[in-house]
Amino acid sequence: MRYTLPARKKQVFETTIPIRWGDMDAMGHLNNTTYFRYMEVCRIDWMASVNHVPSDAEDEGIVIVNAFCNFYRQLTYPGDVRLTMYASDPARTTFETWVTMVRANDPGVVCAEGGATTIWVDIPNQKARALPDWLRALVT
């Protein structure tokens, strides 16, 4: 199944990540799992940019319940990847995140895009909670 960015989305964050030599696999291109790590870094950095840094002391936070990635062009070392993150479809406890990945020196070509269904949870009780107002404002 191919996922594409929804028509109604909001850009919430952008960052650049250097491709490391160790991110590549034996085929000489970025290992597929690394794309998911890059999306994770983007998501965590976005949350940190809005002063929500995950910690053991927190009672609430985001959990990923579904993740996907479509691969279009190979990424190889050396270089930088520009990740642009979007949010869409806020519901009572969830919202969608979407990320496009382009080589920083070739921004017109999307190399991969992916995303995740994100749910807000009460961490100690492992139960979904309504999105807090501050987060809903960010993703709407």
Q: pLDDT over 70 for what percent of the chain?
A: 95
Q: What is the domain partition of the chain in residue ranges?
A: 10-139
Residues 6+ apart with CB under 8 A from 105: 79, 80
Average pLDDT score over residue span 90-111: 95
pLDDT in tens, 19-77: 999 999 898 889 999 999 999 999 999 999 998 876 666 788 999 999 999 999 999 99
91 near 45, Cβ under 8 Å? no
120 near 132, Cβ under 8 Å? yes
Q: Domain 10-139, what fold? A: Thiol Ester Dehydrase; Chain A (3.10.129)
Does the model's pTM come out above 0.75? yes
pLDDT at 55: 66
pLDDT at 54: 66
CA distance 93 to 136: 10
52: closest CA among 118, 106, 127, 125? 118
Residue-averaged pLDDT of the chain: 92
Burial track 48-80 (b if 16+ CB lie within 10 A, e otherwise): eeeebeeeeeeeebbeeeeeebeeeeebeeeee
At 134, the amino acid letter reads W
- Beta-strand relationship, 94-103 and 60-71: unpaired
